[in-house]
Amino acid sequence: MRQNQAESRRQSVAKRSMTREAKQLAGFIAGLRESLDGIHKERASAKLSSAQMGMLDERRNNLLLTIAALDDRLSAVQGLIDLGRPHVIRVH
């Protein structure tokens, strides 16, 4: 009986932890999308040199890659929560 309670408690803690992580990831992604919109506006509104244009393109590409990676992570976390298989994520 105690083992079941301990396992339930671990599952509850893991679910809270992963839910918190999902909220944080969603916030990060939203902030990066805002940055991406800012880059698009800056690129469209100003007369830029080719070097500046290249720099903005590089920033945009890096943001797109970061957003894609965070979207994948968010999807995985949400999937585990939906399946009822949350686990505590240990970072070393």
Task: Report pLDDT digits (tens) over 20-63.
Answer: 999 999 999 999 999 999 999 998 887 889 999 999 999 999 99
Return the number of other C-beta atoms located less than 10 Å from residue 18's C-beta: 20
Report the distance separating Cα 66 and Cα 70, nearest Å: 6
Task: Please tell me the distance from the alpha carbon of residue 8 to that of residue 74, in angstroms, as a whole number.
Answer: 24
Q: Mean pLDDT across the chain, nearest whole number? A: 88
Phi, psi of 87 (to 5 degrees): -145, 155
pTM for the structure as a whole? 0.79
Longest dimension (CA), the chain: 70
Query: What is the identity of the amino acid at 61?
Result: N
With tokens 């994948």, the residue in question is 72
Which residue type does 80 have? L
Q: What is the pLDDT of residue 92?
A: 45
The answer to whether residue 16 scores a pLDDT higher than 60 is yes
Q: Which residue has the tokens 């100003």?
A: 46
pLDDT cut 90: percent of the chain above it: 57
